[in-house]
Amino acid sequence: MSRTHLVALDVDGTLMSYDGVVSDEVRATLAELVEAGVHVVLATGRGVHSAAVVAHDLGLHDTWLVCSNGAVTARTDADGGFQVLDTVTFEPGPALRTIQLEVPDALFATEDVGRGFLVTGEFPEGEIFGVLTQVPFEQLASTPTPRVVIRQPGGTEQEFHELVERVGLHEVSYAVGYTAWLDLTPAGVTKASALEQLRRELGVEPFATAAVGDGGNDVEMLRWAARGVAMGHASEAVRAAADEVTGTIDDDGVLAVLRSLLP
């Protein structure tokens, strides 16, 4: 019998395929977990405006959302909306100006909580969601935000890893995505930091936590959980941070984990 009372689940590449599909079996098992009293938390890099849509589509109408890689915590409601409960922001200017000097053709976006993003240009279709408002770079750089996205179409993941090593990003937390994509959040803020605060508020014991993820922004979360599970397609670094590895997204690998958490 599972002793897990809180499970944190990444969305893209974990619950949901890269073309936006969640299997019927995963949906049904999530409903069973909720019915059994398990706290199901979506922990994602998505903004709350996007994460809430996913939660409601999954039937999670009264659940916790850890969004923007931990910088925004919210809860869905029965009316199809959400309530933002905590937001941590930072001044993005110093980091953005440093990166712009290194990658002058990069696209920049800062999260406009609950709505969408301020952007400096047109992002590839389907990569960021919500209301996108184009603004001059200096306006974007001077607006406090919980999360920054830097994207270089045509670049590579390795180039962004090298960029981070070269310039240093000591005043922020960061995660490099599968493409030339870099997320910045306030220093010390991760999915794990927000989940730990939520765990304490819910009165869940540390041993009763689990998490599943596949990306670089999931590493701290997998280490935080008593049972951290990496998806089979995750990078070697992500798999090394986990206690175990399940199947890939193509195998619906999260399903076996969810079923194992049922009491």
Do residues 78 and 198 share a domain?
yes
Closest CA to 111 of 50, 174, 177: 50
pLDDT of res. 69: 95
pLDDT of res. 178: 64
Parent domain of 148: 93-186
Domain boundary among 126, 155, 186: 186
Distance of CA 16 to the CA centre of its chain: 13
CATH of the domain at 101: 3.30.1240.10
pLDDT for 110-154, tens place per residue? 999 999 999 999 998 888 889 999 999 999 999 999 999 999 887
Do residues 12 and 55 share a domain?
yes
| Burial environment of residue 105 by CB neighbours within 10 A (0 to 12, 13 to 18, 19 or more) | exposed
Give a yes or no: residue 154 inside a domain: yes
Give a yes or no: residue 73 inside a domain: yes
pLDDT of res. 9: 98
Do residues 45 and 175 share a domain?
no
Do residues 41 and 97 share a domain?
no
Do residues 97 and 182 share a domain?
yes
Distances (CA, A) of 39 to 48, 81, 125, 197: 18, 19, 33, 14
Asked if 66 contacts 103 with a C-beta cutoff of 8 angstroms, the reply is: no
CA–CA distance, 224 with 196 (Å, rounded to integer): 8
Do residues 199 and 118 share a domain?
no
Count of domains in the chain?
2
Asked if 120 contacts 107 with a C-beta cutoff of 8 angstroms, the reply is: yes
Give a yes or no: residue 1 inside a domain: no
Give a yes or no: residue 160 inside a domain: yes
| H/E element, 164 | helix 157-167
Do residues 129 and 180 share a domain?
yes
In the 8-state DSSP scheme, what is residue 127?
S
Give a yes or no: residue 240 inside a domain: yes
Distance of CA 148 to the CA centre of its chain: 13
Q: Spell out the long-range contacts of 186-189 with Cβ–Cβ below 8 A and sequence spacing 24 or more.
A: 186/71, 186/88, 186/89, 186/90, 186/146, 187/90, 189/69, 189/70, 189/71, 189/88
Do residues 245 and 202 share a domain?
yes
Do residues 101 and 162 share a domain?
yes
pTM value is: 0.91
Domain boundary among 164, 186, 208: 186
SS3 call for 165:
helix
CATH of the domain at 38: 3.40.50.1000
Reading the chain (263 residues) residue by residue, the pLDDT tens digits are 579 999 999 999 999 998 899 999 999 999 999 999 999 999 999 999 999 999 999 999 999 999 999 999 999 999 999 999 999 999 999 889 988 988 888 999 999 999 999 999 999 888 888 999 999 999 999 999 999 999 988 777 777 778 777 877 766 777 777 667 888 899 899 999 999 999 999 999 999 999 999 999 999 999 999 999 999 999 999 999 999 999 999 999 999 999 999 98
Give a yes or no: residue 148 inside a domain: yes
Do residues 110 and 239 share a domain?
no
